[in-house]
Structures are given as structure tokens and as C-alpha cells.
Amino acid sequence: MNPGKLNLTAESFAVSRQQKEGLNGHRSFTLWLTGLSASGKSTIARYLEERLHKDGIRTFMLDGDNTRMGINKDLDFSPEGRKENIRRVAEIAKLMNDAGIVVIACFISPMVIDRAMAKQIIGENSFIEVFVDASLDVCKERDPKGLYKKAIAGEIKEFTGISAPYEAPLAADIHIETNIISAIRSSGEVYEWLKLKKYLLPADL
Ligand SMILES: Nc1ncnc2c1ncn2[C@@H]1O[C@H](COP(=O)(O)OP(=O)(O)OP(=O)(O)O)[C@@H](O)[C@H]1O
Ligand SMILES: [Mg+2]
């Protein structure tokens, strides 16, 4: 689509993202959690959000299951449906970051190319890729929603790891091996990384 043809002109805002970040007292950014179903994305995100909230950080958890029940309920799990799912939620994350909010995004987002698109939409400096890594065997064993059981029985089509691919990140910013460490420690590792890299401070510090 050509924006010129649609007669669109981007409006400027009276209050910038930097000013909003300044008011909040911290930067805004998106933590993008990718990994197999049951790898631990939502569990880690919940612990992390609680921790950040206690620190006075403004957060929002964007979660695949929830967005697929709302804004993305018209999408399926085909490669095209998954791409559009990621495109829309990345645009939402970008808007939230523009509003000064820290986004914790939990999406299987199995394809490298779709995660690269998300990074491009959100902006390289605001996108932190977190690989929530658990082996397929461990995920099948955990199976908290009973989805692997159904997928193996052929009751769910295009299920990541069983009948649809998962492309692991090659250079994630943070790599959490949830096979090895507990959920609370996993969230602690992300929190410590954010502190170390000064993400939890105002942008000019
Ligand atoms: N280190 C860990 N980090 C996160 N979860 C863990 C860890 N160890 C064990 N678990 C357990 O693994 C399960 C992970 O489920 P969770 O719903 O968080 O996965 P998910 O990645 O969000 O999956 P989905 O893509 O289906 O939403 C939970 O039951 C959790 O208690
Ligand atoms: Mg989840």
C-alpha cells in the first residue's frame, strides 16, 4: 500500500515518547519472549511483571492466547495467519512503547523472519529478544494445557514443534534455559539483565 495514494500524513504529537519516559522515570521497550508452547513464556512474564511493578515500572503483558481471543480472533495458525498475528501485536507493542510503557510480549513467534519483522516495527533499540528455551521433550512432558497431547493425536493441526516448525533464535539478547532453572530464577535472570543494561532507568542516564 502506498501511503501517498491514500492521502495520509503522519501527525506529530505535542508530547513526545521521551517526555512520557521522563514522566515515568524509566525507558520504554519491548521484551519479546519466544519459545515453544509450554517453554515458560507466560509464567516468566507474570513473575517479571510483578517484580517490575513493585519497582514502579509501568508494564503491560501482551500474550498470544489473549490477543488471539480478541484483536486477532480472525487469524488462523497458517504461516500467513502467524505472520499477520505477529505484525499486529508488534504494532501494538510499538504503540505501547510510544506511550511510555514496558511491554512483555509472549508469542511463540516460530519464524526468524517474523521476529525480524517485529524488531523492525518496534525499532532495533526498543526490542529485546528473549529465547525461552526448553526442549520439545520437556515441553511435551509439562503440557500444562494438554495441547501436545491433542496435537500428537492429530486433533490440532499446525502445532509448533509437532506439525509446524520452530526456528530457534541464533542470537537472542537473553537466553533462558528453563529445562535447567526454575521459573522464578528464569524471571530473575531477565530482571538482572535489564538492570545491568540500564533499561530500568530514565533514557538519559
Ligand atoms: N524455568 C521455568 N520457566 C517457566 N516455566 C517453567 C519453568 N520450569 C517449569 N515451568 C512450568 O512450565 C509451564 C510453562 O507454561 P507456560 O504457559 O508459561 O508456557 P508458554 O511458553 O506461555 O506456552 P504457550 O505458548 O502455550 O502459551 C508452567 O507449568 C510452568 O510452571
Ligand atoms: Mg503462554
From 43, 66, 150, give the residue whose CB has the most ligand 1 atoms within 8 Å, as the site to mutate. 43
Task: Give the distance (Å) from ligand 2 centre to CA of residue 108.
Answer: 8
CA distance 48 to 193: 12
What pTM value is reported for the model?
0.96
Task: Give the distance (Å) from ligand 1 centre to CA of residue 92.
Answer: 24
Is 3 a residue whose pLDDT tops 90?
A: no
pLDDT exceeding 90 applies to what percent of the chain?
Answer: 95
Instruction: Look at residue 4 in the predicted model and tell me its pLDDT.
Output: 63
Instruction: Look at residue 1 in the predicted model and tell me its pLDDT.
Output: 58
Closest-lying ligand 1 atom to the alpha carbon of residue 63: 27
Order across the sheet with 102-106: list the strands: 59-63, 102-106, 30-34, 127-133, 174-177
Question: Could you tell me the pLDDT band of residue 2, with boundaries at 50, 70 and 90?
Answer: low
Q: Is the CB of 142 under 6 A from ligand 1?
A: yes
Q: Is the CB of 187 under 6 A from ligand 1?
A: no
pLDDT tens readout for residues 155-175? 999 999 999 999 999 999 999
Is 200 a residue whose pLDDT tops 80?
A: yes
Q: Is the CB of 180 under 6 A from ligand 1?
A: no
pLDDT tens readout for residues 59-113? 999 999 999 999 999 999 999 999 999 999 999 999 999 999 999 999 999 999 9
Q: Is the CB of 183 under 6 A from ligand 1?
A: yes
Q: Is 109 a catalytic residue?
A: yes
Neighbours of 187 (CB within 10 A): 24
Question: Could you tell me the pLDDT band of residue 203, with boundaries at 50, 70 and 90?
Answer: confident
Instruction: Look at residue 64 in the predicted model and tell me its pLDDT.
Output: 94
Query: Of residues 89 and 2, which shows the higher confidence score?
Result: 89
CA distance 58 to 21: 10
CA distance 38 to 108: 10
Q: What mean pLDDT is predicted for residues 35-58?
A: 98
pLDDT tens readout for residues 117-161? 999 999 999 999 999 999 999 999 999 999 999 999 999 999 999
